Structure 1
């Protein structure tokens, strides 16, 4: 099954009672803008979840990355508060590219709720189709009954990566832009570069010129060097958010689901002893 849903299919299914729709628009430089944009206009029935408040734990200075995974109990309470049941079909969207929508997609799969899809093209595609928006406050929902059980095999920590750096059983994939991977620029984190041995697979290239996801065949070509590899693919980015975009792309391409290094680059560089590479 595709991990994506088109605007046409979503428009047809909006009134389904088991559908739960989430708007996760977010801007790193303006953390509250997404919520303001949601209040101004969103797809009818959607509820807003905030990357920092709902989809991440607080930062631990000097120890964690910029967007630690949410505490499972808090995440469960958030989902239940927003009416998610164990059999709910969840659809997620952001402004368009899916960078933040993929985070919630991955989180739900992490806690073993696989009935989740990302709106292809996001709100931009919805608007382009001239479909209506609502500024109404979402109606109250009966508390959901979802129970979350994080899957430990979907994540990997820094210590394990460090131990396996010299092994041939793991391939790190860095989802950041090429200039950040090379260490030529670093607009967010205090140290530039990448984890040694990583390959650069920028997540922005998972989309076409219209902001829609590439076809599964085209996505598979992006992962061509590792399609028949027995190596474990490990995705990371700056803070564990856009790496989920790469994981979704791999799944959509028909590959085994890569593992997420949730702490990503912003966590890796908190410890001076961890190696850093620059250049290609």
Structure 2
């Protein structure tokens, strides 16, 4: 499909208005995590053609549908009513229904109540179809400046300090980056727990992703914990990305050798960021060594 954005949107609207039939099944539709335009044309087609749309909060989903001119039947589906309404939904799916499931933001089943519905639909031989799109996990990983080739998504930590620190200890030795959701009011306490349990690793606090005031604050866990202890809780939805455990094989000699190679093709700051991400050393310490190497070279 080619043309200006307005022409493409107009063509998509006409396509949806034609009422393209969907095969029976449960459609897991990713929705924007902030910016309402971050939704795929396929997702809009499915939401317009489904028999009904299951939503965590129908008010949130109605705003999205209204923004795209879609009039769909909405049904609440969330943690509080799931046990009660799920049997009827499954019966409708088994009878050939076309039902879409959305979360308030992002990809369904990621820290939301859709997992049980999808699992039971699969057990009944109902087709479950993913309609991919926005994901806060992947968006935060993209801008954190930390390794992305291997990562663990841990969801939300427990609220109480002791339980949170016990929970974090289970992730202390996982390879790759660690991605955690957190409520903004608990961010300072969570960062302090991460510093205590995981050590002083490089990390990023990402908030308000895709929105007007999007921010990724990067630093070591000690720097971030000190900042939010002083500044207080920020506004917005929070995703924390913590870098991998420092590879003990990265001693000073290896760091200096890697920096020497990286600085032949990158600026000092960029070389330090690259090697910090690879080694697990703090970016500040690596930058200091990179600057010393540059000064020594004249």
Q: So what's the TM-score if we normalise by structure 1?
A: 0.32
Greater C-alpha radius of gyration: 2
Structure 2 length-normalised TM: 0.31
Greater strand content: 2
Higher helix share: 2
